[in-house]
Structure 1
Amino acid sequence: MTITDCPPHEPYEALLDRLLHQLPPTRAAYPAFLDSLSQRDRHLLVLQGLHSQVCNGGFAQWISNRYAVQDGPTVLLALDRMRQQGEPDAAALAVQVDALVRQASQIAGQAEDGDVPDNSLGDLDQLDDRYSALSDEFGLAVQGYLLAWT
């Protein structure tokens, strides 16, 4: 699921499509590619990655596919900027998602080679449920925030 699966927002979709067509062929080349982008584009990609991974397979997938390790710090920066610069509703959602990401990141720190410890799966399921409850609203807030970027 992409953020654009929320009610379509063509300008956001155009931004995302442009970036997706530039993605490097391997995940190993991704950090350098991400560093080459503007801050807005970096934030768009990492928030999209978080949303897609968590909506598809939960925070366990976000951790197992190494997004938590590679993108986690940038996701937190993006959410912090969204909290500071976004509309009040978007800022409130950013705070909620930030808390979920931080909890998942703590669990990710216990994962060896991306393998989520079995005793953490229940905790991640609860985080997934909380994210799912706000995912559509968050997706729309991300669209609005990124399109209003100044």
Structure 2
Amino acid sequence: MLPYHTLPGGIPGVERPGPNSIVELLQRVLQREGFYGGPVNGGFTAATVAAVRNFQAARGLTADGIVGPATWNALPAETLQGIPVIREGSSGGAVALLQRCLRRQGYDPGPINGVFGPETTAALKRYQQTGAPEIIVDGICGAQIWPLMG
């Protein structure tokens, strides 16, 4: 598995509260599992952190509110099916999130502009090459890569 770094009180790549599709997915799953009753709005709010901590405690994990590998792995398997798949030609917030994550881990994706171009593809492939043998080096960021980003 690739090195995994998560910011305290956050989930992979989420630097501050605000709308984020990964957080929205997390909120939906926690809601479905009975841990979250707030709005599904993509904001990593205090209510979301509390739901994460409750989920972690119920699963025997360290209840720190950080969604790291152990927490991702404790979520139902179908959870990762809702994670956005992005590749060269994609654009938007998920791409900017990936670019920030790659930069933070030492892989230069070019400008952090939300546009998945050749520089981002090359950086992602370099990142994928440093991973476990089961990581496919394809320049695509989806369910295989998002949980490893941080």
TM band (smaller chain): 0.3 to 0.5
Question: In proportion to residue count, which structure has more helix?
Answer: 1
TM-score by length of 1: 0.33
Q: TM-score normalised to the size of structure 2?
A: 0.33
User: Which protein, 1 or 2, shows the higher relative CO under an 8 Å CA cutoff with sep ≥ 6?
Assistant: 1
